Structure 1
């Protein structure tokens, strides 16, 4: 069964807008897990415009499911992750001024760099994943980095879903098949929502985990956080029932 990890960055954005502690990020993470989500994801950036580095430390004892920390492995990020030792670290090649993640790694150009960083994380017992565009030709390079998993960057799928979902899913399906063949796990995330998540999960072989934040938070404003978490869980189960 595909695990649901909820990215709580936008809760931190809302908290930071008023300078206080409302909404309480730790309470939010606790409730999300109580509602059935199997993981919490955060993506701290150097400017700390949503998740702060201190949040990453404070969440450690709160997250009793899978704790996934995403980010570009700059020195401060590397140091933080090695101290916290989350369940998983997902490496994303976004610049400090990026509004949101918008591409995966060039695993051939950055192979040596990724091997070094991933080696440090794996030595510390942290599962590693790298953000990757949907292209089967990239899988061999991803495997060579030493990563345990890839996270498919799904913005392309989400943007094309309404026009031609079969065409939209094709490169993701093919990439996942190649990943399965070469023995590397598959996660996915970015712009997945209640409308497109079930079709995606049904067509990606052995999809281990999805990380969903922005859409889930927006949907929760209308429908309620507990309801939305359960709706995602039901859609992720639909491909095995």
Structure 2
């Protein structure tokens, strides 16, 4: 009696192993077709996610780490599945299958096991493809660079003088005056761009154009957008 149970356990184990191998072999054609269809679905979902990400990135947003990781996993899966599916059905039948009686059990078993694993991996990736959010808003740059001509003769001394006033904590307002064409706007642009590569104590620098006919709402709108304050 003591020997019967171990023998039965061994027999059960061998039966399970044989059954699993038979499943991999006899279900190979069907599983290959399932893998091919699932992979096509995953590719379509991947393209949809990439389109969503591209639209968001145009709007100064960045893809989430979760989405980026998923897209990378899908790329790896595509390459792995492509290797498995590179032989057509006829070649697989010639190599492995003949009415469920394999010509090469070892070949069919390894292929069937790989296909089954990839079906699970692809299925899991499909389930994860439905993202509520694919990107998040990046903080705006504290300074927007202003385009300007390279030639700014004679403005550097004024620039340094104004910059020293900006660095002075006792100075709250700086004003420029002069007739048109003397370089006031150019000097302001140079000051604005200096904030890009010079350390300073300001969280944000806002460029607002105010004409003689002051439009307060327009000025407020520029400031609101720069500070990313909701208009609701």
Greater relative contact order (Cα 8 A, min sep 6): structure 1 or 2?
Answer: 2
TM-score by length of 2: 0.22
Higher share in helix: 2
Higher share in strand: 1
Q: Which has the larger radius of gyration?
A: 2
